[in-house]
Structure 1
């Protein structure tokens, strides 16, 4: 219930502080029946009340404080009114009670008054309950807190009734029964404790679509360093996006010092780790599309060309289970991505996403000679950039999407271990074997709560997620559960302002003890087949089909591998598991990707002009070339007349350089054979070798060479008249003599 409320909560806070009028604790009585919810709230468009404790665990001699957020997305203001907080009279028995209706027997915690909430606005209030005024909660455990808000009648004479729930841990789980709030009897000694294993992803923010720039690395590395430190304390298993490793190695000696130190620290870490698929691409979606091998990057030279490398670098041994960089099902198996990280142009694609830009490094386009002669050092190979020999041969598909085809694809790709969500299996064990694959099973409920604690856009959202995570772990500990596995959401960790915050929370819970994944006991589990949304598959299939058309255009580039590597990196990002969530708005992402593909398909072409007139018998006709690709092009341009009315003196222009995403002008000498008429020139653009041809078009030309003859006659007549008039005037002056001027 709290997860659903957190999902409904909008971003932003318009803060107003409430001054609570605290009431004395009351005896346990049934909670009053809540007033009917506002009618428009039934479809999620009405006001929403979110409640969260400031501290998810209430210890000895601690006051309670709650953050209350009232959001009003409607067009009418919500009148002010009365807010009441009540707590369940007894602790919950198990985690299932967290998802059930609030208990009927409750104790009153506090009352407060909230002011009016403006239309399309929010207000934040804090309600405090001093320790001395807490209800007599005798047993340690997890309690539900319900907030009820009833507005005044307002101008329309209609009340607004809202409710929200949260939970908190009263002392630690397993405390001796009969202890009181101020007794000083700690719970940790009596708690059976819970062993918790954690998978911590190290991934790039969602705004980076291929590889990061040096500037972006400097911004991201501090958060990665802190995350790695907290992961060591939790004995966690690391799930690493290969772009993190390749993105640091791609700059060679030019990489920021902080990034180089982080990579060294990561390589020397004793924590177990495995590589995600490049860009955290989803193997389940690839299996659903019928791929026979996992997609992999084809080249990263489009970024590593900016690095500084030694003349020769020994090639490290690729890690076990690394898929080969060949296409799945041929070159048609991959396509573009949603909002690409354009490592060559710096163009922005999609709302809020920015590209890894060489422009930020003081460069744009290729760093090679414009005359077509490449000049660059030996760049590291793909295996050198992606090598991770210490990694486990494991995969982590999108949560709940794995079926037998996915497992078969992973095994065929050399990946014998798969991470699944608990909703994707039958059974309660956190480790087992399914169809000849070893399976690690993460707890979906814990993962959702941790995601809310990380990804909440406001403090109440994050506090609500932390409270739910603490409550579920406390209930698991008090129930004597077997060790459980928590997999942190990759999208939430990638974009969280403080990705290590949830690990700090786990470290503060004294009833938890860290455990490695290898300590999880094996049990009997069976696969509960999942699936990938069909609309997402159709969009991925369409994007994949466009890849071959785009990569063919690489023939006109100085380095064709730049475009193929760039497009494959975009595709893998489009397959990312973060887009598998139903709330990810994948249709919007795919539309942005398709728009970028349309730009790339422009390739190198001639900009057509509507009115080109030839007013002389011969001239140099300008032809505008446009390079829509993010890398420098080297093309051959051939020109031919469309009729006998024109003669083209030079028909072939070899090695014409057009910089990345820019225009260039070519002057074509032409001569007219008629005085007037309509004709044109046929312009063909092809690769420097002449094949393939990427563009052919006819530029219309209007011939008006007779205008030149008429203009010459007019000028001649005018010159003759001026000469004659001047001669006549001089003769008259001489004939008049000295006094003739007057």
Structure 2
């Protein structure tokens, strides 16, 4: 599968895109866009001057209320440069009841809104007397329930209401009467000055929060698909001057798989590495460094090993996935894999191509900033944490170096980047333009978009462009911001996420137990590295606003930790009948880990009737059980003996719970048995002898056999003797 097509057709995936327009080119672009809108409006309405566009009825993107709602906003980000017209887009969304045709009226103010407070007040609660000049009306077609009727009101550039205006931020009020109610929508437009300002836009690229140490293959396939959120984020920043803040866990999740990673994920990684944008690494998993520091963890945690996640088959071919050499110091300088193995090291897995390291917590206090800045690393913080009026973008609070972002402008542009609906996005962009026209920081302006992994590429690009193509804006590089001379500021403590701070000690306690237990395997980092990665993911800022899901993830992790700790142990033994003086008793030991383990079996008995071997080393294969032979020797006496069994790792750490083996010693049975057997054997021998003798005596006497030889008899011997005469 090829990489998704970027927003600009002239920018092929994986290549550096041209810089976005700025200055005069930006004005030309806005003017062209506005002119195109004007042509469409004129063609549809068939009138000139202040003409409404042909009203259309389109489905509302996300109606959430039963009452009708009206939203109106200037196009082109609300910026009206000399020679530009003012176009107001209007959308009337019906509630649960259909609306008949109606008319919208647009009016503007003559006096500018001088401060940001004035802008906030106007947008929150518009006062009609601040916008007395009616500049146009538009007809809105009937709208069915939960549908939207739209129109555009355009004020030509030649209208005196625009040509006679001085630079500034001016109120716009749109009024609609619907369902017997008067609905109003307040917005603003900006007549820019000729002043120039440097603007840096920081865009976070993060994934949805997870309790796993790394994203799974299925997660990567979905997030980097053509319609995936990571693809949208990459497409949104490609071709802009945005500064990318990326979660290194995303890159590591792809790199550990090598060639076995989904094709879309490998294409995404290639495109990311080819971007020319300045960048820095967020903490692994976008973990909250402020919560860790507040819990006493200084410096914040870093991954120790990702070796357990590496798929060796992804690096077995002739063309393994490339693993870039680290170019900066934004990731820990740990190496958990031997380069000679051909597998990537921890540094290579987490490299984002940054040349500097930054902390970006959600909220800070003076103590947190002091701890984070102790190592010389700068911290990104918002103007809401700065007590000094109009702070510089590059600041210092004591020894802590800061990059100060414009909180209000960042929030407005974040709403624009989050808005899937074009009209809602236009309203947010108009507000952002007004805020940018009244800077809150001295010198440069830094915008930091909120973390949101579900933005569309179009909305994200619109927010970035609005900030950096504002008339007079010049894109500011990260290195330039950092190298600026810092101004001293004071800190106004913000509220930290208490639940996240409280979770840190509990997670570290589980990690400590895993660390001691892991000595049962040859490479303990296979267990400790996974535990550390999961802890950082659970401390992610992405869990903000998802309290129930986060609590469930914490419980799941705690259960998994306990499962790991109980993965090796002695199987409950059954009672043993010992009838011999010497024997070997089998003891079952299980190993549920996917790695071979080495343990020592210890046996102890205080009973003198039984002598047991005390230490027996045992090796068990992965996910197997084995039987260890425990030599025992019975002594004088019989009875029941309790033998205490336990396991320790090669470093002497107790593994699993102890077990008690019950041995019924009956060793004197062996002597009795030998005597009985001897007596029986002698009796059988005697009986056999008696029977043999008696059988011989009853047998008839044997006759003498004739002696064979030569015949030696003579005739005299054979002559009958003479008969006696009578």
**Distance in 1 separating the partners of 2:160 and 2:505:** 57
CA distance in 1, matches of 2:304, 2:270: 25
The 3 A distance-change label for structure 1 pair 635 and 48 is: farther
Aligned partners of 1:666 and 1:632: how far apart in 2?
Answer: 15
1:231, CA displacement in angstroms? 1.9
Seen in structure 2, the aligned counterparts of structure 1 residues 110 and 594 have a Cα distance that, compared at 3 Å, is: farther
Could you tell me how far 1:407 is from its partner in structure 2? 4.0
Counterpart of 2:349 (choices 373, 385, 395) is 385
Are the structure 2 counterparts of residues 571 and 228 from structure 1 closer, same or farther at C-alpha, using a change threshold of 3 Å? same
2:475 matched residue in structure 1: 515
SS at match of 1:502: helix
Report whether the alignment pairs 1:396 with 2:396: no
**What is the Cα deviation at residue 421 of structure 1?**
1.0
2:672 match: none
Q: 1:200 aligns with which of 193, 203, 210?
A: 203
Is the Cα–Cα contact under 8 Å of residues 431 and 441 in structure 1 kept in the other structure? yes
CA-CA distance at 1:504 after TM superposition = 3.3
Indicate yes or no: 2:618 matched with 1:654. yes
Deviation string, structure 1 residues 371-404 (Cα, Å, up to 9, x no partner): xxx9x9454332333345x523231332331425
Task: Work out whether residues 372 and 379 of structure 2, in 8 Å CA contact, stay in contact via their aligned partners in 1.
Answer: no
TM-score calculated relative to the size of structure 2: 0.61
Q: Which moved more, 1:426-435 or 1:256-265?
A: 256-265
State whether residues 53 and 168 of structure 1, in contact with CA within 8 Å, keep that contact through their aligned partners in structure 2.
no
State which of 470, 484, 498 in structure 1 corresponds to 2:456.
498
> Are 2:435 and 1:476 equivalent residues in the alignment?
yes
Deviation of 1:470 after TM superposition, in Å, equals 1.0
Which of 545, 564, 570 aligns to 2:528? It is: 564
Cα 1:131–1:383 change in 2 (3 A) is: closer
Matched with 2:656 is 695
Q: What is the match of residue 441 of structure 1? A: 404
**Structure 1 residue 66: deviation in Å?**
4.1
SS in 1 for 2:644: strand
The equivalences for 1:546-565 within 5 A come to 546-565=510-529
Q: Is the 8 A contact 1:636 1:685 kept in 2?
A: yes
TM-score (norm 1): 0.60
Q: Look up the match of 2:291.
A: 285
- Taking the aligned partners of 2:657 and 2:457, their CA distance within structure 1 comes to 52
Match of 2:190 in 1: 173
Q: Does 1:244 align with 2:250?
A: yes
The secondary structure found in structure 2 opposite 1:527 is: coil
Structure 1 residue aligned with 2:647: 685
Residues 669, 392 of structure 1: alpha-carbon distance in 2 compared, 3 angstrom cutoff:
closer
Task: Give yes or no for contact 2:308–2:530 (8 Å, CA) kept in 1.
Answer: yes
Query: More displaced, 564-573 or 430-439?
Result: 430-439
Cα distance in structure 1, aligned partners of 2:566 and 2:541: 30
Whole-angstrom distance in 2 between the partners of 1:60 and 1:89: 12
What SS does the corresponding residue of 1:319 show, helix, strand or coil? Answer: coil
Paired with 1:307 and 1:85, the residues of 2 have a C-alpha distance of 67
> Mapping of 1:86-235 within 5 angstroms?
89-90=107-108, 93=113, 95-97=116-118, 99-100=120-121, 101-105=124-128, 125-131=146-152, 143=172, 167-168=186-187, 173-174=190-191, 196-207=199-210, 209-222=212-225, 223-235=229-241
**Aligned CA-pair RMSD:** 5.4
Number of residue-to-residue matches in the alignment: 555
Q: Tell me by how many angstroms 1:633 deviates.
A: 3.5
Tell me what 2:540 maps to.
Answer: 576
Tell me what 2:303 maps to. Answer: 297
* CA distance in structure 1 between the partners assigned to 2:553 and 2:184 by the alignment: 34
In structure 2, what is the Cα distance between the partners aligned to 1:528 and 1:69? 46
Counterpart-to-counterpart distance in 2, 1:404 and 1:651:
52
Q: Choose the corresponding residue for 1:270, options 250, 271, 276.
A: 276
| CA apart distance, 1:555 | 0.9
Looking at structure 2, the residues matched to 617 and 54 of structure 1 have their Cα atoms a distance apart, in angstroms, of: 94
Is the Cα–Cα contact under 8 Å of residues 676 and 702 in structure 1 kept in the other structure? no
TM-superposed deviation, 1:206: 1.2
Residue 541 of structure 1 aligns to a residue in which SS? helix
Task: Give the direction of change, closer, same or farther, for the CA distance of 1:579–1:474 in structure 2 (3 Å limit).
Answer: same
Aligned-pair CA distance for 1:681: 4.9
Which residue of the partner structure matches residue 57 of structure 1?
75
Counting only pairs closer than 5 Å after superposition, residues 328-339 of structure 1 correspond to structure 2 as none
Contact 1:642 1:682 survives alignment (8 Å): no
The equivalent of 2:490 in structure 1 is 527
Larger Rg: 2
Q: Distance in 1 between matches of 2:67 and 2:477?
A: 39
Question: In structure 1, what is the Cα distance between the partners aligned to 2:601 and 2:171?
Answer: 75
Distance in 1, matches of 2:246 and 2:309, equals 20
1:250–1:307 Cα contact (<8 Å) kept: no
Q: Residue 418 of structure 1 aligns with which residue? A: 379
- In structure 2, runs of 5+ residues without a counterpart are 1-63, 77-84, 163-168, 667-726
CA contact (8 A) 1:239 1:274 kept: yes
**CA drift at 1:282:** 2.7
